[in-house]
Amino acid sequence: MKHVFVINPKAGKKDLTKKIGEAVQEIFKENDYLIYVTKAPQDAKRFVREYCEEHPEEELRFYSCGGDGTLNEV
């Protein structure tokens, strides 16, 4: 299974992208994972849709790292 982390750097009061990325790398170092940082509104939704379309046979688990909007998109 691939673990896919979708991080929204604009969510919250400060950008935790680096901190989240470091934690993911440490915790998932022996697993298959991908970190994606959103670039604009609706980018998480687009990324997840396209990634699923491009990897239809792959077992995926998505993690939304942001606020309510990011969670809704993912």
12 pLDDT band, cuts 50/70/90, is confident
53 pLDDT band, cuts 50/70/90, is very high
In angstroms and rounded to an integer, the radius of gyration of the C-alpha atoms of the chain is: 12
pTM of the model: 0.92
Please give the backbone phi and psi of residue 57, each rounded to the nearest 5 degrees, phi first: -95, -10
